[in-house]
Structure 1
Amino acid sequence: MTNIALPNNIEKLKAYSSAKSAKLTGTTWLNANESPYARVLEMRFDNLNRYPDPQPQAVIDAYAGYAMVEQANVLMTRGADEGIELLIRTYCEPAKDSIAIFTPTYGMYKVTADTHNIAINELSQAQLANDDVDTLTAAIGDAKLVFVCNPNNPTGAMQPASKVAALADKLKGRAIVVVDEAYIEFCEEKTCVELIKEFSNVVVLRTLSKAFALAGLRVGFMLASEALLAPVRKVIAPYPVSTVVAQIAATALTSDAITQMRRQVSILNLAKKKLIQWLQDSEFVSAILCGEGNFVTLQLTDKQFVVQAMRQGLIMRPFVLFGEDNWLRISIGNEQELKQVENWLKQCQVTEEVL
């Protein structure tokens, strides 16, 4: 054991608990909002003895075309998580600055801020949804970065681009509004990406992990004005993207691959509607958050039903939300995987009747 003292913020740090952190065993995995569609690739590499392009031009060009922005507005990162970390590391001064978040939301905003000794102004999703922009701006206070997860994980809540624009306008010269669009392909018409052309203090984070079915690749993008990205380009690691990752990402962004992705999204969105109907018909589900994204978050009448699902090999994501520990997030899987959810719901009913 080392005798070297840790910085106080690291000593107190509570690490992010990902869906893969717990070494669970199961047969059906609906706990990490992954796509059920596996990509099969055949690729050859004869240049791995050379360092990669820090920002692979083919990928930048392809993503700029997909997102309908200029190439200069795109920065490729190791997942959207690195985008979060880069923004905090670039724009926030440790032990001085703060960020604002709207809970419940994605846990990495807090973990990253805590890691860098950045204070957190924790507001609620209800405030974000219901307060007018003047009230919100006052509540945000001196926060340097304002994270809006849109759609929000785990609630699925969605804020209209008009509200994000109004907030960015009020915060000009004071703060950067970071719109995390990890799940935007499931409701792409609601994107805020056009705002980066109007507001120099808006950043949009994207990923290939969800709809593009490449969670194992760890590819993300930061979309923003050239001026906002310039200091981030100074901070990012010199070779953040490997040659292998860049080539696979480029194949995922061809016209045919994007068409396939959208087809898969349509299938998953229809499957989600079917799942919601099953949940609505179950007497053991007391609340359903019918938001956007490839997941449904619900409240059970008894959290022990989760234990029953795990015994069947069905792995979903339990949550503590709004002070209650009987919430569950179910990722949208394929037809066979969701059939396991339907069977579980029916077996919960049988167990309850026997008791």
Structure 2
Amino acid sequence: MHSDSSQTPRNPASLAPKAIQKLIPYQSARRIGGEGNVWLNANELEHAIDFGQQSEENRYPDFLPQTLASAYQQYAQTTHPVVAVRGADEAIDLIIRSFCQPQKDSIVISSPTYAMYQFCADAFYIDCIDVPLTEQFSLNTEALAQQAATSKVIFVCNPNNPTGNAHSIESIEQLLKQVDGQALVVVDEAYIEFSESSSAVGLIADYPNLVVIRTLSKAFSLAATRLGFIIASPQVMSIIERLIAPYPIPDCAATIGLAALSDAGIQKMLDATKALLVTKQRFIESIKQLEVIDKIVDSHTNFVLLHSRSPLSLFEFLKQHGVVTRNQDHEPALRDHVRITIGSDTSMQLVETLIAQYNQHYLQQGRVEQ
């Protein structure tokens, strides 16, 4: 999977607004650095006040946690620049602010997909163009590429939320070829650990306009620590780093992240992921033959998207029995769909029992009404 090396790819940094290209990153005390025994350059209290914490919290953290970024770089098996941010949501926001001008530029999404792409664009007065997924929830790469000449960023969630399906690495590369460097292609891989699909990280060398977003919130079970990562070419990263706020990652979060990215931590994640996938498959097998379940989308994530035949809302039925899921009725393409996160064996057995009861209600009431 290689692009034509006879053509020099466009420098993706040139896609950024001129004002951003000229922007000088904020020179925090930690960024400027220096050596010495007495640190009096950051307006910190020199001695910590004891509030019961386990470590000294009076000093600002690393301006960019390089150790954490290096650990993720090793985990992602890449030599491309990596920067740690406060969750994948901040990554989305940073990319849009770095490359788009308010009331002038636009981004492209493929609905149904993660709502934060449009939310961040709307909040920054950036137009959002929707090139919907096909009926099979696959990418319309040709239609997406047609928007590249007049848009700055194309977002692809892979595996996709809320549908749960995965786009092939071949379709991602096809899109990159068709875009031909005219816009950034951002692949959000928040759920990649749950999928057998290949990561797009390996394509960055041939397509410097490709950006990959990752997170520790999902498979690593660290949603509360707010740790995300951007992986990009040096050209793209040189722009993004200009807008990163000083001291973005608290030391306590970075310490947890480093533990998670250790060999032992990664193995724990892999074991937990393997167990979750077994639970997911058992759940799917338990409900897929029920007459009330019309469709279960092929899931490459830690959730399952269901479609029901019954006029009685599955979302409301489960909620009445104390199980809170995600109603997808707000998406035109997902009417009567419910997204169910895969929980523990005990939780999923409860859901299986409730859906079986829901099926019985459909058999007894739904057919009569028809």
What TM-score, normalized to structure 2? 0.80
Aligned to 2:251: 243
Aligned to 1:311: 320
Deviations 1:199-249 (A, max 9, x none): 110000000000000111111000001110111111011111111111111
How far apart, in 2, do the equivalents of 1:298 and 1:47 lie?
A: 49
Q: 1:46 deviation in Å?
A: 2.1
Aligned to 2:340: 330
How far apart, in 1, do the equivalents of 2:188 and 2:228 lie?
A: 11
Letter aligned with residue 342 of structure 1: E
Query: Mean alpha-carbon deviation: is it higher for 184-193 or for 141-150?
Result: 184-193
Aligned to 2:43: none
Aligned to 2:78: 69
Aligned to 2:239: 231
Q: 1:287 deviation in Å?
A: 1.5
SS in 2 for 1:125: coil
SS in 2 for 1:341: helix
Judge conservation of contact 2:303–2:339 (CA < 8 Å) in 1.
Answer: yes
Q: Structure 2: where are the runs of 5+ without partners? A: 1-51, 366-370
Aligned to 1:8: none
Aligned counterpart in structure 2 of residue 122 of structure 1, from 106, 122, 130: 130
Judge conservation of contact 1:145–1:176 (CA < 8 Å) in 2.
Answer: yes
Judge conservation of contact 1:110–1:120 (CA < 8 Å) in 2.
Answer: yes
Q: 1:159 deviation in Å?
A: 1.6
Deviations 1:133-157 (A, max 9, x none): 5454224551110000000001122
**Equivalent runs, 1:94-173 vs 2, <5 Å:** 94-126=102-134, 129=138, 131=140, 133-173=141-181
How far apart, in 1, do the equivalents of 2:130 and 2:197 lie?
A: 29
How far apart, in 1, do the equivalents of 2:113 and 2:363 lie?
A: 36
Q: Structure 1: where are the runs of 5+ without partners? A: 1-42
Indicate how the Cα distance of structure 1 residues 257 and 87 shifts in structure 2: closer, same or farther if over 3 A, else same.
same
**Equivalent runs, 1:151-300 vs 2, <5 Å:** 151-300=159-308
Judge conservation of contact 2:328–2:338 (CA < 8 Å) in 1.
Answer: yes
How far apart, in 2, do the equivalents of 1:130 and 1:69 lie?
A: 26
Judge conservation of contact 1:121–1:140 (CA < 8 Å) in 2.
Answer: no
Letter aligned with residue 275 of structure 1: F
Matched, 1:48 2:57: yes
How far apart, in 2, do the equivalents of 1:232 and 1:197 lie?
A: 18
How far apart, in 2, do the equivalents of 1:135 and 1:348 lie?
A: 40
Letter aligned with residue 247 of structure 1: T
Find the structure with the greater CA-based Rg: 2
Aligned counterpart in structure 1 of residue 353 of structure 2, from 331, 339, 343: 343
Query: Mean alpha-carbon deviation: is it higher for 186-195 or for 220-229?
Result: 186-195
SS in 1 for 2:57: coil
Q: 1:255 deviation in Å?
A: 0.3
Indicate how the Cα distance of structure 1 residues 225 and 45 shifts in structure 2: closer, same or farther if over 3 A, else same.
farther
Q: 1:306 deviation in Å?
A: 2.1
Letter aligned with residue 202 of structure 2: E
Judge conservation of contact 2:211–2:232 (CA < 8 Å) in 1.
Answer: yes
The percentage of counterpart residues that share the same residue type is 36
How far apart, in 2, do the equivalents of 1:84 and 1:59 lie?
A: 19
Letter aligned with residue 347 of structure 1: Q
How far apart, in 1, do the equivalents of 2:227 and 2:267 lie?
A: 19
SS in 1 for 2:230: strand
Q: How many residues align?
A: 311
SS in 2 for 1:137: helix
SS in 1 for 2:201: coil
Letter aligned with residue 311 of structure 1: Q
Judge conservation of contact 2:148–2:183 (CA < 8 Å) in 1.
Answer: no
Aligned to 2:16: none
Deviations 1:25-81 (A, max 9, x none): xxxxxxxxxxxxxxxxxx9742210001122222112111100112x6101010000
How far apart, in 1, do the equivalents of 2:159 and 2:273 lie?
A: 15
Higher relative contact order (CA 8 A, sep 6+): 1
How far apart, in 1, do the equivalents of 2:333 and 2:241 lie?
A: 40
Aligned to 2:24: none
SS in 2 for 1:46: coil
Judge conservation of contact 2:154–2:184 (CA < 8 Å) in 1.
Answer: yes
Higher percent of residues as strand: 1
Letter aligned with residue 313 of structure 1: G
SS in 1 for 2:239: helix
How far apart, in 1, do the equivalents of 2:225 and 2:236 lie?
A: 26
